[in-house]
Amino acid sequence: MSEIGDEVLARAAHVLVATALRVAEGERFVVVGDVATMPILAALERAGRAAGAEVAILRLDQLKSYSTNHSGERPHKVLPDGVRRAMLSAQASVFVASAARAESSMRDQLKHIVGACRGRHAHLPGITPAAFAAGLVTDQSTIAASGSALLHLLEVGREIVSTSAEGTNLVVHPGARRWVARLGAIQPGESVVYPTGSLCVAPESVRGVFAATASLGEFFGARERLLREPILFDIDEGIVKRVRCPGSPELVRDVEAMLAVAPNSERVGLVVLGVNPSAPAPVGAVAVDQHRPGLHLVIGDPQSTLTAAGWSARTSFAACQSASTVHVDGVPVAEGGRLLLS
């Protein structure tokens, strides 16, 4: 019996299959998972069959590949033949297996097939049933409409201010930088990471205090999950100068070590504005929390291929707020985990 009810998972699967992937009758729909995601696999299989698709469910823990000497043991560094054959004939697909670092090349091979064969692919590596259910409540068209409305304001906005009761007091100047929309539209030949629903920019300047109160990325975020107390980042000229969290000295040490890994590891790479209202409260996973209404940060690499930032970093991790007030040029756009767009 899964911790998340079958009915809740079924609703999330319907949102992904029907509104994001738009699976149609007669299409071939492939779902790749493993033993850890069996409840999600079952929900996606039912949603695919309800759409009239021909569904193939493949578990990586049951498949053999050349890289494992055909033993069936993971990690798979090469895409198993069974997955390759299924993906070559699929019009739509989903990946929900665990995200072992040693299998990154295998996942890249899968996405290459998506591009070459013009499939529509939703990519959810390492997703948990809780994150799947929380991040996939709102249909893709609603998220896209909210994101487009906010993007219209941001494209002419000069200053973003975020505050929170926990200590955030942050001023962001995006400058003439390009805003990147992550609103979930999946076109033929595209792989889109889900859950989704945010706008991000590599800002011109960031200064003030940011209080992460929901979740963090990286190994320390996976360990902490939902943060027990705020962790404060003092930021000046776009650089994290100090990290504070009196009740969690181990977390502070781990974050400080990450900031010191390489040049630019301590820089704010992205400012993220979430527009996905699916989760009424943070779940302790950045895959969901960074898309909740409010302002969040990615510290480290600014994804320059998307944002056109003139620098890069070897590391990056997200820092998410539970609830914050966000103003764009004095206009309120988010408060308490809710969008305020008219």
User: Who's near 313: CB < 8 A, 6+ residues apart?
Assistant: 262, 263, 264, 265, 267, 269, 300, 301, 302
Domain ranges (residues) in the chain? 6-135, 140-339
**Which tens digit of pLDDT belongs to each residue from 230-250?**
999 999 999 999 999 999 999
Half-sphere exposure of 328 (CA within 13 A, CB side): 19
- Mean pLDDT is lowest, of 69-73, 80-84, 89-93, 239-243, for 69-73
Per the prediction, the chain carries an average pLDDT of 95
In this predicted structure, the answer to whether residue 1 has a pLDDT above a threshold of 50 is no
pLDDT at 68: 56
Using a 10 angstrom Cβ sphere, with 0-12 exposed, 13-18 middle and 19 or more buried, the burial of residue 19 is middle
Q: Please name the helix (run of DSSP H) or strand (run of DSSP E) that holds residue 93, with its range, or none.
A: strand 92-95
When the candidates are 3.40.1830.10, 3.10.350.10, 1.10.10.10, 3.40.640.10, the CATH number that belongs to 6-135 is 3.40.1830.10
In this predicted structure, the answer to whether residue 66 has a pLDDT above a threshold of 80 is no
Q: What is the mean pLDDT of residues 249-274?
A: 98
**Which tens digit of pLDDT belongs to each residue from 267-326?**
999 999 999 999 999 999 999 999 999 999 999 999 999 999 999 999 999 999 999 999
Percent above pLDDT 90 for the chain:
91
Rg of the Cα atoms in the chain: 20
pLDDT at 65: 66
pLDDT at 176: 87
Distance CA 342, CA 333 (A): 9
Residue 73 amino acid letter: E
Judge contact between 198 and 276, C-beta under 8 A.
Answer: yes
pLDDT at 147: 97
Q: Please name the helix (run of DSSP H) or strand (run of DSSP E) that holds residue 209, with its range, or none.
A: strand 205-212
Judge contact between 327 and 160, C-beta under 8 A.
Answer: yes
Residue 206 amino acid letter: V
pLDDT at 69: 57
> Two tokens at 80?
């198993």
**Which tens digit of pLDDT belongs to each residue from 14-26?**
999 999 999 999 9
Q: What is the mean pLDDT of residues 67-84?
A: 79
pLDDT at 73: 76
Q: What is the mean pLDDT of residues 181-208?
A: 97
Judge contact between 34 and 59, C-beta under 8 A.
Answer: yes
Q: What is the mean pLDDT of residues 154-170?
A: 97
pLDDT at 4: 84
pLDDT at 2: 45
Record the pTM.
0.91
* Phi, psi torsion values for 213, nearest 5 degrees: -125, -5
pLDDT at 101: 86
Judge contact between 19 and 140, C-beta under 8 A.
Answer: yes
In this predicted structure, the answer to whether residue 70 has a pLDDT above a threshold of 60 is no
Judge contact between 197 and 184, C-beta under 8 A.
Answer: yes
pLDDT tier for residue 72 given thresholds of 50, 70 and 90: low
* Phi, psi torsion values for 59, nearest 5 degrees: -110, 125
